[in-house]
Amino acid sequence: MKYKIRNFEEGYVDPSEPNNIFLLNNKENLSLDIGCGEGEFIIELGKRNPNKFYLGIDIKYGRILKGLKKLNKDNVRNVKFMNFNVSFLTNKIFFSKNINEIYINNPDPWPKDRHSKNRILTKEFLDTLFSIIKKKGEININTDSKEYLDFIKNQISNSKFKEYKENVNQNLPITKFQNYYSSINKEIHSIKIIKS
Ligand SMILES: C[S@@+](CC[C@H](N)C(=O)[O-])C[C@H]1O[C@@H](n2cnc3c(N)ncnc32)[C@H](O)[C@@H]1O
């Protein structure tokens, strides 16, 4: 574990520690925030639902560290963070199908053609999510990019989920990026997928 994260051990799940992974798989009501950034969304959800358990995952060390500091300051116990590249997510990490909800807020849209291979929401990734989520579990995705939205819809249709609903109104916390988009009057599109 990197030195600074070690200062916030209580809120951190080390993906290389089998014990940590085992404890995650033992939770009854687990929800994930994939690409959680600095964690304000998942911390607010944790405060609203103290009986549920939340894990925020982000590839950027500095963002996870900020989330851990906030968690510590607000004394929230049912939220944890993991510094991890979700391209390596498998059902060997989440093996007990205990995941109720997955949130993916404003994933990087990679608008340039030559970068589009970096998009995380591919059919393959969605099939991995299918293999770790409970029956009737939900995935909530939102994006400001119409182009990425169309790409995601296509990937869902080709994945094991097949179906989705658009713009379902939910009273979810506002993320840092959504705050920014609304300040410049950019529309946010949302998609809900339910595992049947
Ligand atoms: C545009 S930001 C959105 C942050 C936050 N969800 C929000 O709405 O404010 C996208 C986030 O996804 C994270 N990310 C991108 N690729 C990732 C990957 N392969 N694994 C984990 N996190 C990733 C980035 O580090 C970044 O924090």
Tokens found for residue 177: 């990026």
Task: Give the residue numbers marked as catalytic.
Answer: 108
Kindly give the distance from the C-alpha atom of residue 58 to the centroid of ligand 1, in angstroms, as a whole number: 6
Answer yes or no: is the C-beta of 56 below 6 A from any ligand 1 atom: no
Domains of the chain by residue range: 3-194
In a mutational test of the pocket of ligand 1, which residue from 120, 145, 175 has the highest number of ligand atoms less than 8 Å from its CB? Answer: 120
For the Cβ of 44 lying below 6 angstroms from any atom of ligand 1, the answer is no
Find out whether the beta carbon of 141 lies less than 6 Å from any atom of ligand 1. Answer: no
Atom 11 of ligand 1: nearest residue by CA position = 35
User: Which atom number of ligand 1 is nearest to the Cα of residue 176?
Assistant: 9
Does 94 contact ligand 1 (Cβ within 6 A)?
A: no
**Beta strands 165-166; 189-194: pairing state:** antiparallel
pTM over cut 0.85: yes
Q: State in Å: Cα 64 to ligand 1 middle.
A: 10
Ramachandran area for residue 167 (φ above 0: left; ψ -120 to 50: alpha; else beta): left
- Distance between Cα 149 and ligand 1 center (Å): 16
The pLDDT score that the predictor gives to residue 154 is 97
Amino acid found at 178 = Q
User: What's the pLDDT score for residue 3?
Assistant: 67
Measured in Å, residue 103 CA sits from the centre of ligand 1 at 11
The one-digit pLDDT tens for each residue of the chain (196 residues) are 666 888 899 999 999 999 999 999 999 989 999 999 999 999 999 999 999 999 999 999 999 999 999 999 999 999 999 999 999 999 999 999 999 999 999 999 998 888 888 899 999 999 999 999 999 999 999 999 999 999 999 999 999 999 999 988 889 999 999 999 989 999 999 999 999 9
pLDDT of residue 7: 86
Residue 67 in contact with ligand 1 by CB distance below 6 A: no
CA separation for the pair 107, 144 (Å, rounded): 9
Report which ligand 1 atom has the smallest distance to the Cα of 37: 27
Q: Is 36 in the pocket of ligand 1 (CB under 6 A)?
A: yes
Work out the burial of residue 66: count CB atoms within 10 Å of its CB; fewer than 13 is exposed, 13-18 middle, 19 or more buried: middle
**CATH 3.40.50.150 corresponds to the domain 3-194:** yes
